[in-house]
Amino acid sequence: MRRYLFILVAVAVSLLAVGGYGAHAAEGGQRVDAREVPFTFEGNHIALWVTLNGRGPYCFYLDTGASNMMTPDVAQLLHVRQLPGGKIGGFGANRVDTSSAIVASLQFGEVYLAHQDFKILQLPSNLTDRGNRPSLSGVIGGDFLKDYVARIDFDRRVATFFPKDRFTYTGTGQPLDLTFWKARSIEGEVLQRPEVSATVDGKASTFLLDTGNSGSVIFFPGSARAQELLAKPGDRLHAVMPGGIGGHIEVDMIRVDGVALAGIPSATGGTPAIGVVTGANGAVANGDLVGALGMGMLEQFNLTIDYARNKIYLEPRPSLPKREKSAPLRGTGLEMSKDAHDRFTVIGTIAGSPAEKAGIVAGNEVFAIDGKPATDMAQFDYRPIERTALPVTVLLGPPGNGRTVTLEKQILLP
């Protein structure tokens, strides 16, 4: 099931960005060295190794839908002075207490940033727990891209940053206009987050550019467009997802007649599946935003993002084969959240799915998947297991006192 669903790291509002082939910076006719930063791609999230105040490195996600955030554990290690904060929310109904601090220095690769504001909050375990790898320490938002042009090369797994005042794009990518949505947070700060236009089901809508969303396209509740899509006839799939800040969310997956960005259709085929959040609560349920465009769509391109000139350049990746027809969505129908280090917690099963037929219910605990203990797995490790056609074996209950269930895959959305 994780093949097409997504973990949403979204907060109330915030962001980052990326870069393109043929891009260069020049000064006095001479080339200025670009700053290349390698990244790993895990669960459709860009992971960077970051040092803060000379300490680390720590694992952070690059998130264009979020402000800078760190966990309390990292804040304690840094001995930063914490100031009173407020509450922050996301797609789910819950709100999380925060404090704030200023970090004197932040560095990833050769990119050095001084005096960065951070929110300090307890991120959910399904985001921070990376199994037998170091925990996620937070997210880096994209406000620093006001000073940089950024390129994300998914083929090479390298992000390259250029000084904005000494940059000229010379590639062949398709340009896409970038605008900024302004909002005031609960604490009163004015936030600016990037938006782009995409065509979904033949209609153009404006979306938050959100690298913290590992799905393709998601519509928020409260918007007229979301209600229109929910009323669309045809097959749909209702699922509960782990979500991020704010807790679990409910989403309907719906087939649409095409998704295109800057006129370039999705490489997944002619009738891709998009998500519509159905719960009318959370920080994005007021109708101010139509939806978010996530990594499932963005990773189909190598990207150059230029905040200073309000442009994104999209270069389709030849390594990704284009499909004429969208493939059916297959899976076990088992929805889980990594809410503790040694186990996944079942948060729901899809109606009529193998998981439901096996009698698995919300609240059951899974301690191993295909013989691999949950202590060695992150939330995102389950995605590739669901992608295969092979059955999945789960251990319900602790080792030595649980039962093993084998789940076949079936079509969940034609």
> What predicted TM-score, i.e. pTM, was given to this entire model?
0.88
Say which CATH architecture domain 329-413 belongs to.
Answer: Roll (2.30)
Res 264: pLDDT: 95
Give just the sign of the alpha carbon dihedral 206, 208, 213, 219: negative
Q: Where are the alpha helices (DSSP H) in 366-405?
A: 382-387
As a whole number of angstroms, the distance between CA 121 and CA 245 comes to 10
CATH 2.40.70.10: which residues of the chain? 3-327
Contact 286, 215 (CB under 8 A): no
pLDDT at 130 over 50: yes
**pLDDT, greater one: 45 or 3:** 45
DSSP 49: E
Place of tokens 């129908």: 333
* Distance separating alpha carbons of residues 255 and 410, to the nearest angstrom: 17
DSSP-assigned states of every residue in 57-97: EEEEEE-TTS--EE-HHHHHHHTPPPEEEEEEE-SSS-EEE
Is-contact 107 51, C-beta < 8 A? yes
Distances (CA, A) of 38 to 49, 105, 321: 9, 19, 24
Delimit the CATH 2.30.42.10 region(s) of the chain.
329-413
Q: For residue 411, give the nearest of 81, 1, 53, 76 by alpha carbon.
A: 1
Q: From residue 36, how far is each of 28, 31, 142, 158, 179 by CA, in Å?
A: 22, 15, 16, 6, 26
CA dihedral 87, 195, 92, 3 (to 10 degrees): -140
User: What would the DSSP string read from start to end of 152-189?
Assistant: EETTTTEEEEEEGGGEEE-S-PEEEE-EEEEEE-TTS-
Q: What is the pLDDT of residue 25?
A: 42
DSSP state, 266? P
pLDDT tens by residue, 320-355: 888 889 999 999 999 999 999 999 999 999 999 999
Sorted by sequence, the CB contacts under 8 Å of residue 309 that are 6+ apart come out as: none
pLDDT tens digit sequence for 20-74: 334 444 333 334 568 999 999 999 999 999 999 999 999 999 987 778 999 999 9
- Residues 6 or more apart whose CB falls under 8 angstroms from that of 359 comprise none
Least confident segment among 96-110, 241-255, 360-374, 382-396: 241-255
Residue of 154, 142, 158 whose CA lies nearest to 314: 154
Q: What is the CATH number of domain 3-327?
A: 2.40.70.10
